[in-house]
Amino acid sequence: MIKELIPRPKSVFLKIKCLKCSNEQTVFQRGSSIIRCTICDEVLVEPSGGKGKIKGEIIQTLE
């Protein structure tokens, strides 16, 4: 029998606007590494206790 139920970890993606250059970028909130803006290299998400600390402006939450 084929297993159809694969446990999916609840992941949250955020659409963040860079405060420096206004670039909009979709990032994974629970990342364990620093996420930088692809345009200006500004830090958008900083790891903090398993949950990302958002440095930019959150535009949208995608679940």
- Interface residue list for Zn ion (CB under 5 A): 18, 20-21, 23, 37, 39-40, 42
Of the pair 25, 29, the CB lying nearest Zn ion is at 25
DSSP annotation string for 5-41? --------EEEEE-TTT--EEEEETT-SS-EE-TTT-
Measured CA to CA, the distance from residue 45 to residue 47 in angstroms comes to 7
Whichever of 42 and 47 has its CB closer to Zn ion, that residue is: 42
* Between 37 and 45, CB nearer to Zn ion: 37
> Closest approach of Cβ 50 to Zn ion, in Å?
25
Q: And the tokens for 26?
A: 């979709």
